[in-house]
Amino acid sequence: MNGGPLSDIVVVDLTRALAGPHAAMMLADLGARVIKVETPGGGDDTRGWGPPFVARSETGLTTEIPSAEGISTYFLSCNRNKESITLDLKSAAGTQALTELVRRADVLLENFRPGVLDRLGFPLDRLTELNPGLVMLSISGFGHDGPEGGRAGYDQIAQGEAGLMSMTGPDPQTPTKAGVPIADLLAGMYGAYGVVAKLTERARTGRGGLVRTSLLASVVGVHAFQGTRWTVAGQIPQAEGPHHPSICPYGLFHSADGTVQIAVGSEGLWQRLAPAFGLPLDAPGFATNADRVRNGPAVRAAVNEAFAAHTTADLLATLAEIGVPSGEVKNLQQVYDWEQARSQGLLIDVEHPVLGPVQLPGPPLRFFDGAGQEWHREHTAPPLLGQHTDEVLGWLADAGDPIDGTG
Protein backbone atom coordinates (compact mmCIF):
# COMPACT_ATOMS: atom_id res chain seq x y z
CA MET A 1 0.00 0.00 0.00
CA ASN A 2 2.81 2.41 -0.79
CA GLY A 3 0.45 5.00 -2.23
CA GLY A 4 -2.79 3.74 -0.77
CA PRO A 5 -5.52 1.34 -1.93
CA LEU A 6 -6.46 3.54 -4.92
CA SER A 7 -3.01 4.85 -5.81
CA ASP A 8 -3.33 3.73 -9.45
CA ILE A 9 -6.69 5.46 -9.99
CA VAL A 10 -7.24 8.83 -11.70
CA VAL A 11 -10.49 10.62 -10.88
CA VAL A 12 -11.95 13.54 -12.85
CA ASP A 13 -14.22 15.48 -10.50
CA LEU A 14 -16.78 17.71 -12.21
CA THR A 15 -18.81 18.15 -9.03
CA ARG A 16 -19.39 21.16 -6.83
CA ALA A 17 -20.99 22.03 -3.48
CA LEU A 18 -20.76 19.06 -1.09
CA ALA A 19 -22.13 15.64 -2.09
CA GLY A 20 -19.85 15.13 -5.09
CA PRO A 21 -16.78 16.83 -3.60
CA HIS A 22 -17.15 14.68 -0.48
CA ALA A 23 -17.20 11.52 -2.63
CA ALA A 24 -14.13 12.74 -4.50
CA MET A 25 -12.34 13.54 -1.26
CA MET A 26 -13.01 10.05 0.06
CA LEU A 27 -11.41 8.59 -3.07
CA ALA A 28 -8.49 11.03 -2.72
CA ASP A 29 -8.01 9.98 0.90
CA LEU A 30 -7.57 6.42 -0.40
CA GLY A 31 -4.71 7.53 -2.63
CA ALA A 32 -6.48 8.30 -5.92
CA ARG A 33 -5.30 11.24 -8.01
CA VAL A 34 -8.31 13.56 -8.04
CA ILE A 35 -8.41 16.35 -10.63
CA LYS A 36 -11.10 18.85 -9.70
CA VAL A 37 -12.47 20.68 -12.76
CA GLU A 38 -13.81 24.15 -11.92
CA THR A 39 -15.29 27.02 -13.89
CA PRO A 40 -12.92 29.93 -14.56
CA GLY A 41 -13.46 33.00 -12.42
CA GLY A 42 -15.53 31.62 -9.56
CA GLY A 43 -14.93 27.90 -9.30
CA ASP A 44 -16.82 25.64 -6.93
CA ASP A 45 -19.80 27.38 -5.30
CA THR A 46 -18.42 26.62 -1.84
CA ARG A 47 -15.44 28.92 -2.44
CA GLY A 48 -17.95 31.71 -1.79
CA TRP A 49 -19.92 30.09 1.05
CA GLY A 50 -19.36 31.87 4.33
CA PRO A 51 -18.47 33.48 6.62
CA PRO A 52 -16.23 32.33 8.07
CA PHE A 53 -13.54 33.24 5.57
CA VAL A 54 -9.94 33.12 6.78
CA ALA A 55 -6.71 34.84 5.78
CA ARG A 56 -3.14 34.85 7.04
CA SER A 57 -2.11 37.97 8.96
CA GLU A 58 1.07 38.92 10.80
CA THR A 59 -0.37 37.47 13.99
CA GLY A 60 -1.79 34.28 12.47
CA LEU A 61 -5.09 33.28 10.91
CA THR A 62 -7.86 35.87 11.04
CA THR A 63 -11.52 36.05 10.06
CA GLU A 64 -11.61 39.87 10.34
CA ILE A 65 -11.43 40.42 6.59
CA PRO A 66 -13.68 41.19 3.61
CA SER A 67 -15.14 37.99 2.20
CA ALA A 68 -13.40 38.51 -1.16
CA GLU A 69 -9.98 38.40 0.49
CA GLY A 70 -10.39 35.18 2.44
CA ILE A 71 -10.56 31.43 1.98
CA SER A 72 -13.89 29.74 2.71
CA THR A 73 -13.64 27.25 5.56
CA TYR A 74 -16.58 25.42 3.94
CA PHE A 75 -14.47 24.78 0.83
CA LEU A 76 -11.57 23.62 3.02
CA SER A 77 -13.82 20.97 4.60
CA CYS A 78 -14.37 18.87 1.47
CA ASN A 79 -11.48 19.35 -0.96
CA ARG A 80 -8.28 18.06 0.63
CA ASN A 81 -5.88 15.93 -1.43
CA LYS A 82 -7.10 17.27 -4.81
CA GLU A 83 -5.71 19.19 -7.75
CA SER A 84 -7.70 22.09 -9.24
CA ILE A 85 -7.88 23.05 -12.89
CA THR A 86 -10.15 25.57 -14.60
CA LEU A 87 -11.93 24.70 -17.86
CA ASP A 88 -14.64 26.50 -19.77
CA LEU A 89 -16.71 23.47 -20.73
CA LYS A 90 -18.82 25.55 -23.12
CA SER A 91 -15.79 26.29 -25.29
CA ALA A 92 -14.11 24.10 -27.88
CA ALA A 93 -10.83 24.18 -25.97
CA GLY A 94 -12.53 23.19 -22.72
CA THR A 95 -14.34 20.35 -24.46
CA GLN A 96 -11.05 19.15 -25.93
CA ALA A 97 -9.35 19.19 -22.54
CA LEU A 98 -12.18 17.30 -20.85
CA THR A 99 -12.17 14.78 -23.69
CA GLU A 100 -8.49 14.07 -23.05
CA LEU A 101 -9.11 13.84 -19.30
CA VAL A 102 -11.88 11.29 -19.86
CA ARG A 103 -9.60 9.18 -22.07
CA ARG A 104 -6.99 9.01 -19.32
CA ALA A 105 -9.28 8.73 -16.29
CA ASP A 106 -10.54 5.73 -14.38
CA VAL A 107 -13.43 7.55 -12.72
CA LEU A 108 -15.63 10.53 -13.61
CA LEU A 109 -17.83 12.21 -10.99
CA GLU A 110 -20.65 14.65 -11.78
CA ASN A 111 -23.60 16.15 -9.92
CA PHE A 112 -25.14 18.40 -12.56
CA ARG A 113 -28.89 18.43 -12.85
CA PRO A 114 -29.98 15.49 -15.06
CA GLY A 115 -29.35 16.29 -18.72
CA VAL A 116 -26.71 19.00 -18.26
CA LEU A 117 -23.74 16.75 -19.04
CA ASP A 118 -25.55 15.57 -22.18
CA ARG A 119 -26.00 19.17 -23.32
CA LEU A 120 -22.30 19.80 -22.77
CA GLY A 121 -21.60 17.06 -25.32
CA PHE A 122 -20.79 14.20 -22.94
CA PRO A 123 -23.77 11.82 -22.76
CA LEU A 124 -23.21 8.33 -21.40
CA ASP A 125 -22.65 6.71 -24.79
CA ARG A 126 -20.05 9.33 -25.72
CA LEU A 127 -18.17 8.86 -22.44
CA THR A 128 -18.22 5.08 -22.91
CA GLU A 129 -16.98 5.49 -26.47
CA LEU A 130 -14.08 7.64 -25.30
CA ASN A 131 -13.17 5.24 -22.49
CA PRO A 132 -14.92 1.85 -22.22
CA GLY A 133 -13.31 1.27 -18.82
CA LEU A 134 -14.55 4.54 -17.32
CA VAL A 135 -16.49 4.28 -14.05
CA MET A 136 -18.98 7.14 -13.77
CA LEU A 137 -20.74 8.41 -10.65
CA SER A 138 -23.77 10.65 -11.06
CA ILE A 139 -25.40 12.25 -8.00
CA SER A 140 -28.75 14.02 -8.22
CA GLY A 141 -31.22 15.52 -5.81
CA PHE A 142 -34.19 13.19 -6.11
CA GLY A 143 -33.08 10.61 -8.67
CA HIS A 144 -32.42 10.71 -12.40
CA ASP A 145 -35.82 9.36 -13.42
CA GLY A 146 -39.29 8.99 -11.97
CA PRO A 147 -41.98 11.70 -11.81
CA GLU A 148 -39.64 14.19 -10.09
CA GLY A 149 -36.37 13.06 -11.61
CA GLY A 150 -35.22 16.47 -12.81
CA ARG A 151 -35.87 18.25 -9.55
CA ALA A 152 -33.02 20.28 -8.07
CA GLY A 153 -31.82 19.05 -4.72
CA TYR A 154 -30.36 20.84 -1.73
CA ASP A 155 -29.51 19.16 1.55
CA GLN A 156 -32.11 20.65 3.87
CA ILE A 157 -34.87 20.23 1.29
CA ALA A 158 -33.90 16.56 0.95
CA GLN A 159 -33.77 16.09 4.73
CA GLY A 160 -37.36 17.26 4.90
CA GLU A 161 -38.65 15.43 1.84
CA ALA A 162 -36.95 12.16 2.81
CA GLY A 163 -38.50 12.10 6.27
CA LEU A 164 -35.43 12.78 8.40
CA MET A 165 -36.65 16.10 9.81
CA SER A 166 -39.96 14.54 10.87
CA MET A 167 -38.01 12.22 13.19
CA THR A 168 -35.55 14.82 14.48
CA GLY A 169 -36.05 17.58 17.02
CA PRO A 170 -37.48 18.13 20.50
CA ASP A 171 -41.05 17.16 19.57
CA PRO A 172 -43.27 16.34 16.57
CA GLN A 173 -44.22 20.01 16.18
CA THR A 174 -40.61 21.15 15.63
CA PRO A 175 -39.07 19.42 12.58
CA THR A 176 -35.31 19.88 12.86
CA LYS A 177 -32.46 19.36 10.43
CA ALA A 178 -29.26 17.60 11.42
CA GLY A 179 -26.38 19.81 12.51
CA VAL A 180 -24.41 18.90 9.37
CA PRO A 181 -25.67 18.53 5.75
CA ILE A 182 -26.16 14.83 6.25
CA ALA A 183 -28.05 14.15 2.99
CA ASP A 184 -25.14 15.57 0.99
CA LEU A 185 -22.56 13.70 3.04
CA LEU A 186 -24.41 10.39 2.84
CA ALA A 187 -24.86 10.75 -0.93
CA GLY A 188 -21.12 11.30 -1.21
CA MET A 189 -20.37 8.28 0.96
CA TYR A 190 -22.76 6.01 -0.95
CA GLY A 191 -21.34 7.36 -4.20
CA ALA A 192 -17.75 6.58 -3.24
CA TYR A 193 -18.87 3.12 -2.07
CA GLY A 194 -20.50 2.53 -5.46
CA VAL A 195 -17.40 3.69 -7.33
CA VAL A 196 -15.15 1.30 -5.43
CA ALA A 197 -17.61 -1.55 -6.09
CA LYS A 198 -17.67 -0.72 -9.80
CA LEU A 199 -13.86 -0.55 -9.94
CA THR A 200 -13.75 -4.03 -8.39
CA GLU A 201 -16.13 -5.29 -11.06
CA ARG A 202 -14.01 -3.62 -13.77
CA ALA A 203 -10.99 -5.56 -12.56
CA ARG A 204 -12.88 -8.75 -13.55
CA THR A 205 -14.61 -7.59 -16.72
CA GLY A 206 -12.46 -4.76 -18.07
CA ARG A 207 -15.59 -2.65 -18.51
CA GLY A 208 -16.66 0.45 -16.64
CA GLY A 209 -20.19 1.72 -16.23
CA LEU A 210 -22.49 4.09 -14.42
CA VAL A 211 -23.36 4.40 -10.71
CA ARG A 212 -26.23 6.65 -9.66
CA THR A 213 -27.39 7.86 -6.27
CA SER A 214 -29.27 10.86 -4.90
CA LEU A 215 -29.83 12.90 -1.78
CA LEU A 216 -33.27 11.29 -1.48
CA ALA A 217 -31.85 7.77 -1.78
CA SER A 218 -29.05 8.48 0.68
CA VAL A 219 -31.44 9.51 3.45
CA VAL A 220 -33.98 6.75 2.81
CA GLY A 221 -31.02 4.34 2.80
CA VAL A 222 -30.31 5.13 6.46
CA HIS A 223 -33.87 5.04 7.80
CA ALA A 224 -32.85 1.71 9.36
CA PHE A 225 -35.24 0.54 12.10
CA GLN A 226 -37.33 3.69 11.69
CA GLY A 227 -38.11 2.62 8.12
CA THR A 228 -39.30 -0.83 9.13
CA ARG A 229 -41.41 0.68 11.90
CA TRP A 230 -43.58 1.93 9.04
CA THR A 231 -43.10 -0.65 6.28
CA VAL A 232 -43.66 -3.64 8.59
CA ALA A 233 -45.37 -2.40 11.76
CA GLY A 234 -47.38 0.45 10.25
CA GLN A 235 -46.14 3.03 12.78
CA ILE A 236 -45.12 6.52 11.65
CA PRO A 237 -42.02 7.58 13.62
CA GLN A 238 -42.04 11.01 15.23
CA ALA A 239 -39.42 13.21 16.84
CA GLU A 240 -38.73 12.22 20.45
CA GLY A 241 -35.96 14.65 21.36
CA PRO A 242 -32.71 13.18 22.68
CA HIS A 243 -34.17 9.74 23.43
CA HIS A 244 -34.40 6.41 21.62
CA PRO A 245 -37.82 5.27 20.37
CA SER A 246 -37.19 1.56 20.99
CA ILE A 247 -34.74 1.41 23.94
CA CYS A 248 -35.23 2.94 27.39
CA PRO A 249 -33.46 4.52 29.14
CA TYR A 250 -31.24 5.55 26.22
CA GLY A 251 -30.51 9.22 25.66
CA LEU A 252 -29.66 12.49 27.35
CA PHE A 253 -30.34 13.20 31.02
CA HIS A 254 -29.68 16.12 33.34
CA SER A 255 -27.10 16.15 36.10
CA ALA A 256 -26.59 18.68 38.88
CA ASP A 257 -24.35 20.79 36.63
CA GLY A 258 -25.06 19.74 33.05
CA THR A 259 -25.99 16.66 31.06
CA VAL A 260 -24.91 13.09 30.57
CA GLN A 261 -25.90 10.44 28.03
CA ILE A 262 -26.49 6.77 28.78
CA ALA A 263 -27.22 3.76 26.59
CA VAL A 264 -28.99 0.99 28.52
CA GLY A 265 -29.14 -1.37 25.58
CA SER A 266 -29.76 -4.65 27.44
CA GLU A 267 -31.50 -5.98 30.51
CA GLY A 268 -28.11 -6.71 32.02
CA LEU A 269 -27.22 -3.02 31.81
CA TRP A 270 -30.55 -2.06 33.40
CA GLN A 271 -29.82 -4.47 36.25
CA ARG A 272 -26.55 -2.60 36.84
CA LEU A 273 -27.99 0.90 36.52
CA ALA A 274 -31.13 0.58 38.63
CA PRO A 275 -29.63 -0.50 41.98
CA ALA A 276 -26.70 1.91 41.63
CA PHE A 277 -29.08 4.89 41.50
CA GLY A 278 -32.06 3.65 43.50
CA LEU A 279 -34.28 3.10 40.48
CA PRO A 280 -37.19 0.60 40.73
CA LEU A 281 -35.61 -2.44 39.09
CA ASP A 282 -38.66 -4.73 38.83
CA ALA A 283 -41.53 -2.34 39.45
CA PRO A 284 -44.48 -2.27 37.02
CA GLY A 285 -43.47 -0.30 33.94
CA PHE A 286 -39.74 -0.77 34.68
CA ALA A 287 -39.08 -4.51 34.56
CA THR A 288 -38.36 -5.03 30.83
CA ASN A 289 -37.22 -2.84 27.98
CA ALA A 290 -40.65 -3.13 26.33
CA ASP A 291 -42.26 -1.99 29.60
CA ARG A 292 -39.84 0.91 29.90
CA VAL A 293 -40.40 2.06 26.32
CA ARG A 294 -44.17 2.08 26.85
CA ASN A 295 -43.66 3.86 30.18
CA GLY A 296 -40.95 6.14 28.77
CA PRO A 297 -41.92 9.51 30.36
CA ALA A 298 -42.04 8.01 33.87
CA VAL A 299 -38.79 6.08 33.43
CA ARG A 300 -36.95 9.13 32.10
CA ALA A 301 -38.33 11.27 34.91
CA ALA A 302 -37.06 8.77 37.48
CA VAL A 303 -33.58 8.72 35.89
CA ASN A 304 -33.46 12.51 35.76
CA GLU A 305 -34.47 12.73 39.41
CA ALA A 306 -31.76 10.26 40.42
CA PHE A 307 -29.08 11.94 38.32
CA ALA A 308 -29.93 15.45 39.57
CA ALA A 309 -28.11 14.72 42.83
CA HIS A 310 -24.77 14.16 41.07
CA THR A 311 -22.38 16.21 38.96
CA THR A 312 -21.67 15.11 35.42
CA ALA A 313 -18.12 14.10 36.37
CA ASP A 314 -19.35 11.97 39.28
CA LEU A 315 -22.04 10.38 37.14
CA LEU A 316 -19.59 9.47 34.39
CA ALA A 317 -17.22 7.95 36.95
CA THR A 318 -19.96 5.85 38.55
CA LEU A 319 -21.41 4.76 35.22
CA ALA A 320 -17.97 3.69 34.01
CA GLU A 321 -17.41 1.76 37.23
CA ILE A 322 -20.63 -0.23 36.86
CA GLY A 323 -20.11 -0.73 33.13
CA VAL A 324 -23.03 1.31 31.76
CA PRO A 325 -22.10 3.04 28.45
CA SER A 326 -22.18 6.79 28.96
CA GLY A 327 -20.69 10.04 27.78
CA GLU A 328 -20.86 13.80 27.86
CA VAL A 329 -21.95 16.15 25.08
CA LYS A 330 -18.83 17.81 23.69
CA ASN A 331 -18.61 20.93 21.55
CA LEU A 332 -16.31 20.81 18.53
CA GLN A 333 -13.42 22.53 20.31
CA GLN A 334 -13.53 19.78 22.92
CA VAL A 335 -13.69 17.09 20.21
CA TYR A 336 -10.62 18.35 18.37
CA ASP A 337 -8.72 18.89 21.63
CA TRP A 338 -9.60 15.35 22.74
CA GLU A 339 -6.57 13.09 22.72
CA GLN A 340 -8.66 10.10 21.69
CA ALA A 341 -9.84 11.89 18.54
CA ARG A 342 -6.30 12.98 17.73
CA SER A 343 -4.98 9.45 18.25
CA GLN A 344 -7.31 8.23 15.50
CA GLY A 345 -5.94 10.63 12.89
CA LEU A 346 -9.06 12.78 13.00
CA LEU A 347 -7.06 16.02 12.93
CA ILE A 348 -4.44 16.51 10.20
CA ASP A 349 -1.84 19.17 9.43
CA VAL A 350 -1.50 20.56 5.90
CA GLU A 351 0.40 23.44 4.31
CA HIS A 352 -1.96 25.74 2.44
CA PRO A 353 -0.43 27.88 -0.34
CA VAL A 354 -2.02 31.05 1.09
CA LEU A 355 -2.94 30.30 4.69
CA GLY A 356 0.25 28.44 5.56
CA PRO A 357 0.01 25.63 8.13
CA VAL A 358 -3.59 24.77 9.01
CA GLN A 359 -5.35 21.87 10.68
CA LEU A 360 -8.27 20.08 9.04
CA PRO A 361 -10.61 17.28 10.11
CA GLY A 362 -9.03 14.03 9.00
CA PRO A 363 -10.36 10.92 7.20
CA PRO A 364 -12.30 8.30 9.21
CA LEU A 365 -10.55 5.22 7.80
CA ARG A 366 -7.14 3.78 8.71
CA PHE A 367 -5.34 1.08 6.68
CA PHE A 368 -2.85 -1.55 7.82
CA ASP A 369 -0.96 -4.32 6.07
CA GLY A 370 -0.89 -7.92 7.27
CA ALA A 371 2.02 -7.15 9.59
CA GLY A 372 0.09 -4.35 11.28
CA GLN A 373 2.05 -1.57 9.57
CA GLU A 374 -0.18 1.46 9.07
CA TRP A 375 -0.35 3.35 5.79
CA HIS A 376 -0.09 7.10 6.28
CA ARG A 377 -1.19 9.34 3.46
CA GLU A 378 0.72 12.59 2.98
CA HIS A 379 -2.24 14.95 2.96
CA THR A 380 -2.32 18.07 0.81
CA ALA A 381 -4.32 21.22 1.40
CA PRO A 382 -7.46 22.04 -0.60
CA PRO A 383 -6.20 23.75 -3.76
CA LEU A 384 -6.46 27.33 -4.93
CA LEU A 385 -8.70 27.85 -7.94
CA GLY A 386 -6.83 26.62 -11.01
CA GLN A 387 -3.68 25.93 -9.02
CA HIS A 388 -2.78 22.88 -11.12
CA THR A 389 -4.15 23.88 -14.53
CA ASP A 390 -0.80 24.20 -16.30
CA GLU A 391 0.54 21.01 -14.75
CA VAL A 392 -2.50 18.92 -15.69
CA LEU A 393 -2.85 20.33 -19.21
CA GLY A 394 0.83 19.67 -19.76
CA TRP A 395 0.32 16.07 -18.64
CA LEU A 396 -2.58 15.73 -21.09
CA ALA A 397 -0.55 17.13 -23.96
CA ASP A 398 2.29 14.72 -23.23
CA ALA A 399 5.06 16.00 -25.49
CA GLY A 400 2.86 18.13 -27.75
CA ASP A 401 1.66 21.70 -27.55
CA PRO A 402 -0.12 22.56 -24.29
CA ILE A 403 -3.91 22.33 -24.32
CA ASP A 404 -5.63 25.63 -23.58
CA GLY A 405 -8.74 24.72 -21.64
CA THR A 406 -10.00 28.27 -21.19
CA GLY A 407 -10.49 29.27 -24.80
CA distance 108 to 158: 24
For residue 35, what are the contacts with CB-CB under 8 A and spacing of at least 6? 10, 11, 12, 13, 82, 83, 85, 101, 105, 388, 392
Determine phi and psi for 241, rounding to 5 degrees. 65, -145
- Is 184 a catalytic site residue? yes
Cα distances from 231 to residues 169, 237, 257, in angstroms, run 22, 11, 42
Pairing of strands 82-86, 33-38: parallel
What is the DSSP code string of 55-96?
EEETTEEE--S-GGGSEEHHHHTT-TTEEEEE--TTSHHHHH
Element containing residue 361 per DSSP (H, E): strand 356-361
Q: Are 380 and 35 in contact (CB under 8 A)?
A: no
Preceding amide of 284 cis, omega within 30: no
Query: Is it true that the peptide bond before 249 is cis, omega within 30 degrees of 0?
Result: yes
Residues 6+ apart with CB under 8 A from 228: none
**Annotated catalytic residue, options 29, 184, 337, 401:** 184
DSSP class per residue in 106-129: SEEEE-PPTTHHHHTT--HHHHHH
**Cα–Cα distance, 157 to 231 (Å, whole number):** 23
The span from the CA of 259 to the CA of 331, in Å, is: 13
Q: How far apart are CA 350 and CA 342, in angstroms?
A: 15
DSSP state of 362: P
Active site residues: 184
